[in-house]
Amino acid sequence: MSFLECRSISKSYDGKHALKDVTFEIEGGDLLSVVGPSGSGKTTLLRIIDGLEKADSGEVLLKGKKISGEPFLHRKMIGMVFQNPVLFNTTVFNNIAYSLKFRGEEGETIKKKVEEMLKLLRLHDLRGRNALTLSGGEAQRVALARALVYDPDLLLLDEPTANLDPYNVSIIEEVLQRSNREQGTTVIVITHNIFQAKRLAKNVAFLLEGELVEFSDSAAFFASPRDSKTLSFIRGEMVY
C-alpha cells in the first residue's frame, strides 16, 4: 500500500481543464517536487490533496484510506504551507502554538514544541514580535514552523520560497530536508524552480496544461527524461 495515491484526478474551472486524469503514488518518507509552468495545475493538485478543493472525479487515498471529502482526517495528518503565508495578528510564539492549542495539548508540551521550532527555524529572537510585522522570509519561516510543530505525516508546500532571498531559501530548504530525513515526514513541494527541485527532490512530477507528463526519480528526471516536453522544460526552453 502506498502512502499517498492520487487516482485519475480531474478538475475543470468554467469548462477548462485545470487537471486531467492525474494518477501517481508516493511512498512514506518521499520528497516529491511538483514542477511545471505557471497555470499547469500545480496549486490545484495540492489543494485537492489538502482537501481545500474538491476534484470533479478521481480520488485521493492516504495510507489506503479515501480522504477526498474528509476534511477532519486531512487536518490531523497534513500540514500546508502556502505561497503567501497567512499569519494571525499575535506573536510569533502564539502563531506557532496555535495548532497545538487547537489539538488540546497541554501548556508544557506546547512550550517545549514551540521552542524546538523557534530554534530549528532560527526564529528565537522574534518569538515576541507580532507576526504581521515580519518580513516575507521571516513570515514564511513562521508558517513552516506552524505546519511542522504538530509533526504532520504529510507536509504540502506551494512554492514556499518564491520571491525569497537566498538566506531564507537556504533555511527553508534545510528544514525541509531535515524533517524529511530525521522525522520521516513525507513532503510534496511545488516549485517552478527546477534548480530547487534538483537540490531537494527524491522524485519529480512534471505537470503541463493539467496533465502529468513525467513522474520519475530525480536523477532520471534530470539526466534522461522520457518525454521531449520534459527535456525542453528542464533546458529552460519552455516559454511561460
CB 219, min distance to ligand ADP, A: 24
Helix axes 107-120, 92-102, angle to 10 degrees: 130
CB 211, min distance to ligand ADP, A: 12
Residue 36 interacts with ligand ADP (CB under 6 A)? yes
Q: Where are the alpha helices (DSSP H) in the chain?
A: 42-50, 71-77, 92-102, 107-120, 136-148, 166-178, 194-200, 218-223, 228-234
Which part of the chain contacts Mg ion (CB under 5 A), choosing from 13-21, 37-45, 127-135, 164-172? 37-45
Pairing of strands 203-208, 31-35: parallel
Question: Is-contact 210 56, C-beta < 8 A?
Answer: no
Nearer to Mg ion, 42 or 113 (CB): 42
Q: Which of 4, 11, 31, 43 binds Mg ion (CB under 5 A)?
A: 43
CB 36, min distance to ligand ADP, A: 6
Residue 44 interacts with ligand ADP (CB under 6 A)? yes
CB 154, min distance to ligand ADP, A: 19
CA atoms of 147 and 235, how far apart (whole Å): 33
Q: Which residues contact 39 (CB under 8 A, 6 or more apart)?
A: 209, 240
Q: Which of 3, 10, 29, 39 binds ligand ADP (CB under 6 A)?
A: 39
Residue 33 interacts with ligand ADP (CB under 6 A)? no
Pairing of strands 203-208, 186-190: unpaired
Name the grid cell of 115.
521552542
Which part of the chain contacts Mg ion (CB under 5 A), choosing from 38-46, 48-56, 127-135, 147-155? 38-46
Footprint of ligand ADP (CB under 6 A): 13, 18, 36, 38-44
